[in-house]
Amino acid sequence: MSDQPQFTVKIDQNKYLPEGGREVHAIVSVESAGGVAAAAPAAQAAEVIIIDTSGSMTYPDTKLRAAIAAAQTAVDTLRDGVMFAVVSGSNSAKMVFPQQAALVPANERNRAAAKAALKRLTAQGGTAIGSWLRLADQLFDPYQAGVRHAILLTDGKNQHESPEELQAVLARCAGRFVCDCRGVGTDWEVAELRKVANALLGTVDIVADPADLVADFRAMTQAAMGKAVADVALRVWTPQTARLKFVKQVMPNVQDLSAMRAETAPQAGDYPLGAWGAESRDYQICVEVPPGEVGKELRAAWVKLVVPGGPGQEAQVLATGNVLAQWTDDEALSTKINARVAHYTGQSELADVIQEGLAARRDGDLDTATARLGRAVKLADEAGNEAVTAALRKVVDVLDPATGTVRLKANVEKADEMSLDTTSTKTVRTRKDETVRTRRSEV
């Protein structure tokens, strides 16, 4: 058995378009199985843990204590031999362990030393997330061939550098490592941290109760240790005359990848997917094609899962799939909407209306907030997204989920509002998919 997982690509769509139809939607399901984690993955791995040590972390002091405990758990979860470091962040970034700006291999002695160094952490100063990421990038630099993962914990807004500075760092770091972001407490900004997580292909979440940090850090580190392929990309070819409207990840969470396209060949571009373990993710793509004659079939997109080679190297193709378009004058065919396309289209909209609804609520535009969050209740109900439904019910009183009739709650905990925001992009599969999820097929 090879160490590389077996990848499969599956396309769900209704290829039939009416006469004059132009827009082709498809769900691309990417799944990997085998070759991972059971034994130690062969892939080299590097991990950087970034802990916010701005002054606010001591208000209350439980935040810093919990962050230290969580980081210590993460260190314990590292596999032997994984290259790692711990960084503390305030107005600038400092090495916690090791002292020099470099990664060291995880072993008993280094883990103990790292945990001891964490224990000595104190909090003071401001928040400049970009500077923290810059140091992480420097640490990861020699390890670009392996899996590269960072955990970033913060409790505040990015106040001590400009948004432009942060943006520049994100542009620099994109594709260089994956970063999962966590906000502790309620003084940080979901939109800001989401931007960081999206740019670095990671997740964003709120850990409202510092006591939950330990479990969360353990889970993130375990997931990172399960990655077997460092850099995977979705290579999408489209016809000369077509336009790729968007490429989004829609499972496990909604994330628009369109802006991350890297041109790789005439008519083809790569969308980075980060590192992969034994897991499955779904993507939605939308292509606009010139209308064709009835009966004509087109390959509207040719999707390849690739490991892009270095400069001058051939990309390794792991799996491929065709997104098709065929024009028909049979309305029974062209009006059918693929169930998975509909499902994920609904959940993308769900994320949008929640974020719009919360923004309107913050701005005092209660009518818009009520309308958007009402729509969200309806969509979440249709999709069977219980996590989002539960989060919504802490912000609105639901009068009728089927029509999306809601009333804004008068008093909403800040943490509940932020939870709804971070949950908004988390998607579920269609119910009937449940059996599909466990199916494993060879390429």
Residue 258 CB, shortest distance to other proteins, in Å, is: 20
Minimum CB separation of residue 2 from other proteins in Å reads 25
Please report where in the chains the tokens 């729509």 appear, as a residue. 375
Question: Please, what is the minimum distance in Å from the beta carbon of residue 294 to other proteins?
Answer: 5
Query: Which residue ranges make up the site for other proteins (CB under 8 A)?
Result: 237-242, 267, 289, 292-300, 302, 322, 324, 326
Residue closer to other proteins by CB (options 28, 383) is 28
* Closest approach of other proteins to the CB of residue 158, in Å: 44
Q: How far is the CB of 133 from other proteins (least distance, A)?
A: 39
- CA 53, distance to chain mean position in Å, is 25
Comparison of 159 and 241: residue with beta carbon closer to other proteins: 241
CB of 443 to other proteins, least distance (A): 15
Q: Please, are residues 199 and 272 in contact by the beta-carbon 8 Å criterion? A: no
CB of 299 to other proteins, least distance (A): 4
Minimum CB distance to other proteins smaller for 25 or for 63: 25
CA-based max dimension of the chain: 72
Nearer to other proteins, 22 or 394 (CB): 22
State which residue, 295 or 312, has the beta carbon closest to other proteins.
Answer: 295
For other proteins, the closer of residues 144 and 267 by Cβ is 267
Q: Which CB sits closer to other proteins, 293 or 314? A: 293
Of 217 and 327, CB closest to other proteins: 327
CA angle 255-78-7, nearest 5°? 45
Identify the residue whose tokens are 């002054």: 55
CB of residue 243 to other proteins, shortest distance in Å: 12
Residue placing its CB nearer to other proteins in the complex, 290 or 309? 290
Closest distance to other proteins from the beta carbon of 321 (Å): 11
Going from the C-alpha of 313 to that of each of 43, 260, 307, 308, 310, the distances in angstroms are 19, 21, 10, 8, 5
State the Cα torsion 254-256-257-259 to the nearest 10°: -170
Main-chain phi, psi angles of 424, to 5 degrees = -55, -30
